[in-house]
Amino acid sequence: MPLSDLPLNYAELFRAAMLYSVAAWAVFLLLVAVALKGKPFFTRARARIGIWSLLLFAFCGYWLTLYSNSKFDSAPAAWHRAEVIRKYSQRSRNEMEYLVVVLSWRPGHQEEALHVSRRTYGDVLPGQTVATVLTKPGFLRHEWVKACRFDTVLNSAR
């Protein structure tokens, strides 16, 4: 998934995805229990089926929610300008993530963290750079970034 298709708030999207996933998982387990009632192998494998299917439903549910939120979003996009207040990088197991933090344009939020490329990260100067962010509301109502551009402004031009 490109950096531009990521939601602004992972935690909200994750919670929504888990609600969908756990509900679907419960229906799945009920159907499996009814279909395999009385089968000797089912009694022994019940716990394994439950655990593995929960992990599969959670993983697939998250990615399906993330994909659906941006893929089926037909609402108009909106441009936002926000001042860059800081930047930071963090290492995950296999790669380095670069994030730029901007003042939020959303009511009730103070700042937004945007994933950027290594090159963009190097060009951004906190306090001197302004982000122009194109967002869409999301098919599942989780705002996501469609595009982002960073411009350096002179201190006297503010």
Domains of the chain: 3-71 (no CATH), 78-157 (2.40.50)
Structure tokens belonging to residue 72: 């089926």
Which alpha helices (H) appear in the chain, and where do they start and end?
10-35, 40-71, 118-123
Instruction: Report the candidate in 129, 146, 128 with the shortest Cα–Cα distance to residue 137.
Output: 146
Instruction: Report the candidate in 21, 20, 17, 28 with the shortest Cα–Cα distance to residue 50.
Output: 28
156: confidence class by pLDDT, cuts 50, 70, 90: low
List the Cα angle 53/17/12 in 5-degree steps: 145
Of the two residues 133 and 35, the one the predictor is more confident about is: 133
The count of other CB atoms within 10 Å of the CB of residue 134 is 14
pLDDT of 2 higher than 60: no
Q: Do you know the residue count of the chain?
A: 158
Q: Determine the pLDDT at residue 64.
A: 94
Average pLDDT over residues 122-131: 95
Asked whether the beta carbons of 132 and 148 are under 8 A apart, the reply is: yes
Q: Mean pLDDT over all residues of the chain?
A: 90
pLDDT of 114 higher than 70: yes
Asked whether the beta carbons of 16 and 139 are under 8 A apart, the reply is: no
